Structure 1
Amino acid sequence: MVGMDLASLHQELVASPDLLIVQDLDGVCIPLVKNPLSRSLSADYVHAAARLRGSFVVLTNGEHEGHRGVNRLVEKALGDSEKARSQGLYLPGLAAGGVQLQDEFGNVTHPGVSEAEISFLASVPGRMKALMCSMLPALMPELSDQELSVEVDLAVLDTQLSPTINLNHLFSRIPDDVAHQRRLQSMLESLMQQLMAMAVSEGLHDSFFLHVAPNLGRDPLGCERLKPAVKRDVGSTDIQFMLRGAIKEAGLLVLINRHIAARTGTAPLGEAFNVRTAPNDHEALLALCKQRIPREQMPHLVGVGDTVTSTINPSGGGWLRGGSDRGFLTLLQELGCSYKRPNRVVLVDSSGGEVDRPSLTDGSLAGISDPEDPLHFDVCIPGGPEAYVNWFIALSETRTELTP
């Protein structure tokens, strides 16, 4: 499954003439934590990303802006809220699955998103809290009114474009009770379906979808499958209420299109191309690239993620594969094959944080991949975000030294 180590990848990328690193954030350069407000970024990482300008973008289901946004982590790392904007030190790329576009100076746009959708999303965190307050006491009657209020506040992530419920802190109260963890997951799934019904009742029939993290791929109706808790793996911890079209595969094409436009002056997929106008089907995205992007314009792509899952189907019929990074990493790998480019897929072990996840340390990839998995990892990083960040900083320094 694994073809090279970090040192070999470094040597391959230092002199790549048209490199584009497409990187997830949480679990990759930010250790996973139970309370997302306690996340942190290293200042050295922020400066390394700036040195790789033109060759580095982010692709995340988190968000750039807001009090929970990664921009706040950048400003905190630098110790100066104005420095990032004046010097262009924000992390460029797509957030909220692909509907929040940002440049290095923190200029944010939301291509293809309507005012009605923005307005409904603004109401979602309040609705989430009300539903949790009504549903959680039956599952956790031991919580006092004050404890219930605290847990709900910790669980509801009031992001602008992808409001989320995160169960990690609740799971920490019942660390070894798999049956109880599964009941909480079922409550979360039911709650989010109620929110979807509210959107439909207010005329937003095709505006949103539910992103489950981690997940077990999609069911026949196209909905993401929840990953039930098992011993030593809590499974799905979050469900995000997201804008339809905000999938990382489509986001990958948006980033490639913008990269080519910056280098050549022409966007092969069109200046207005965005995730909401892009095809949702994996094969259609690949076909669009092959139709519109010449081989000589396709960059050398490196995809970096941490959330990839594979679990044997309990009802038979092979494996249930998912994870929020699987789709874009698979498409990136297939683009490499199609264009005969040495694209690389890098998997970072995010199990060392505060969240129970399958680990890379024993080399088995159990719960992550399987013997028949079409997605192959060129590099695995069992050392987690710390090891990846150290490598990333070294790569940025070496490429800077080699730049004329």
Structure 2
Amino acid sequence: MQRHSPDQLLDELASADELLIVQDLDGVCMQLVKDPLTRSIDPTYVRSVAAMEGAFAVLTNGEHEGRRGVNRLVESALGDESLPGRDGLYLPGLAAGGVQFQDRFGNLSHPGVSDAEMDFLAAAPSRMEKLLLEQLPVLLPEVTALQCRELARAAVLDTQVSPTINLNGIFDQVPGDVARQRALQQMLEDLMQQLLDEAAAKGLEASFFLHVAPNLGRDADGRERSKPAAPGDVGTTDIQFMLTGSLKEAGLLVLINRYIARRDGVFPLGDDFNVRTAPRDHAGLMDLACDRLPLERMPLLVGVGDTVTSTPAQDGNGWLRGGSDRGFLTLLKALGSTSGHSNRVILVDSSHGEVDRPSFADGRLDGISDPEDPLTLDLLMPEGPQQYISWFQQLAERRRAAAQASPGSV
């Protein structure tokens, strides 16, 4: 398959009249780290996003707000807590898988989320920590009680609408021990399933699901499969406790709906359309798009992510494909085929950070794609986030220059 070079895609997008870049965050414009509180974001990237106003939106499973939110990183990068809100420098788009919307001034909303759901989510982090403390001494008998408390506290990410357990710090206790890493992954699955059961007991059985990262796609019941640890690849590190409907592919349609409303003054999918009211599978989303979106006047869509997986099925028949970005990138490509646009996909190598991820520096894409993969990757960024940030900055500068030279053209 012939892929684009960075310069080729830069030329194509710099002159596009109608453009919407939909981009993940962690691993794309920031290195993956074991402790999300240590993340940082490049201030030049933040200002480049602002220059792309109207042609850019984030779509992430992380969150905008809270002490772990990306908004804190933006404020820190710019050295002024009030500047982003005043000048519209926050990253606009959808977070928490699509249930948390923010404009560039930091105005936040959670469309379709009930008070009962928010109350359960607020209590979830402390419950996660308690359950971890019950399990860690069994799996890590060599670790002291004090260390277990510290590990549990660090593992629980107390985000507002997608509380998460991250095993990276715990995996540090068993480096290279694949069997124990897999035991920890199984413990995490069981623990989070218990939390789902507790939600069901409160009448919230249809409110939440588990997002596994990285994953190997979904099983026959629609549940995301964990990616077992293997030598050189720890596999699944996180499970997020998420609101049903928090699917990036549904979020893509929400962002397109908003883009068209901004351009035309009409929301083709309705002004109250959100991920919780959207279909929850590819076919349903495509049917909705084909029925309601103005396909003849769609923008050129560009999807940017880092988490796409493909592993041979254990029975030797086919591949298990997944990754938290695969769904929305696949839908983006399908929308392009339907609308006659050559929508583009950019994949950023996130193996350069602190988390073990498959690298594609050698061009082989082992563990990422396969020879039969229907998802076309148009541009690879093997040097990781720094390469992408530099490329994105050039794109923003060229589009800004084109707009100044010909007002209204870009």
Q: Shorter-chain TM-score: what band?
A: over 0.9
- Structure 1 stretches lacking a partner, 5+ long: none
Q: In structure 2, what is the Cα distance between the partners aligned to 1:36 and 1:23?
A: 18
2:117 is paired with a residue of what secondary structure?
A: helix
Cα deviation per residue 1:355-375 (whole Å; 9 max; x = unaligned)?
111101111111000111110
- 1:159 paired residue number: 159
* TM-superposed deviation, 1:284: 1.1
- 2:203 paired residue number: 203
* TM-superposed deviation, 1:173: 2.2
* TM-superposed deviation, 1:388: 0.2
* Residue pair 1:57, 1:91 contacting (<8 A) in 2 also: yes
1:207-356 to 2 correspondence within 5 Å?
A: 207-356=207-356
1:4-403 to 2 correspondence within 5 Å?
A: 4-403=4-403
2:198 maps to a residue whose letter is M
Q: Report the TM-score when normalising by structure 2.
A: 0.98
Q: In structure 1, what is the Cα distance between the partners aligned to 2:362 and 2:165?
A: 31
1:132 maps to a residue whose letter is L
1:320 is paired with a residue of what secondary structure?
A: strand
Quickly say closer, same or farther: Cα 1:2–1:304, change in 2 above 3 A.
Answer: farther
Q: In structure 2, what is the Cα distance between the partners aligned to 1:390 and 1:153?
A: 36
2:262 maps to a residue whose letter is A
1:266 is paired with a residue of what secondary structure?
A: coil
Q: In structure 1, what is the Cα distance between the partners aligned to 2:222 and 2:255?
A: 24
* TM-superposed deviation, 1:15: 1.1
Q: In structure 2, what is the Cα distance between the partners aligned to 1:84 and 1:162?
A: 24
* Residue pair 2:87, 2:105 contacting (<8 A) in 1 also: yes
Decide which moves more: 282-291 or 81-90: 282-291
Root-mean-square deviation (CA), in Å? Answer: 0.7
Decide which moves more: 170-179 or 266-275: 170-179
2:297 maps to a residue whose letter is Q
2:217 maps to a residue whose letter is G
**Paired residues, what number?**
404
* Residue pair 2:295, 2:338 contacting (<8 A) in 1 also: no
* TM-superposed deviation, 1:2: 5.0
* TM-superposed deviation, 1:296: 3.2
Q: In structure 2, what is the Cα distance between the partners aligned to 1:135 and 1:291?
A: 49
2:369 maps to a residue whose letter is S
Q: In structure 1, what is the Cα distance between the partners aligned to 2:155 and 2:292?
A: 43
* TM-superposed deviation, 1:398: 0.8
Cα deviation per residue 1:194-248 (whole Å; 9 max; x = unaligned)?
0000000011010000000000000000000000000000000000000000000
Q: In structure 1, what is the Cα distance between the partners aligned to 2:304 and 2:294?
A: 24
* TM-superposed deviation, 1:150: 1.0
* Residue pair 1:2, 1:379 contacting (<8 A) in 2 also: no
1:173 is paired with a residue of what secondary structure?
A: coil
Q: In structure 1, what is the Cα distance between the partners aligned to 2:4 and 2:325?
A: 20
1:47 is paired with a residue of what secondary structure?
A: helix
Q: In structure 2, what is the Cα distance between the partners aligned to 1:294 and 1:384?
A: 35
* Residue pair 2:279, 2:285 contacting (<8 A) in 1 also: yes
* TM-superposed deviation, 1:185: 0.3
* Residue pair 1:2, 1:376 contacting (<8 A) in 2 also: no
- Structure 2 stretches lacking a partner, 5+ long: none
* Residue pair 2:296, 2:339 contacting (<8 A) in 1 also: no
Identity of aligned residues (%): 62
Cα deviation per residue 1:234-289 (whole Å; 9 max; x = unaligned)?
00000000000000000000000000000000010110000000000101111111
* Residue pair 1:2, 1:380 contacting (<8 A) in 2 also: no
Q: In structure 2, what is the Cα distance between the partners aligned to 1:218 and 1:58?
A: 24
Q: Report the TM-score when normalising by structure 1.
A: 0.99
1:277 maps to a residue whose letter is T
Q: In structure 2, what is the Cα distance between the partners aligned to 1:174 and 1:142?
A: 11
* Residue pair 2:97, 2:248 contacting (<8 A) in 1 also: yes
Q: In structure 2, what is the Cα distance between the partners aligned to 1:121 and 1:62?
A: 15
Q: In structure 1, what is the Cα distance between the partners aligned to 2:168 and 2:275?
A: 29
* TM-superposed deviation, 1:295: 2.5
Q: In structure 1, what is the Cα distance between the partners aligned to 2:9 and 2:96?
A: 29
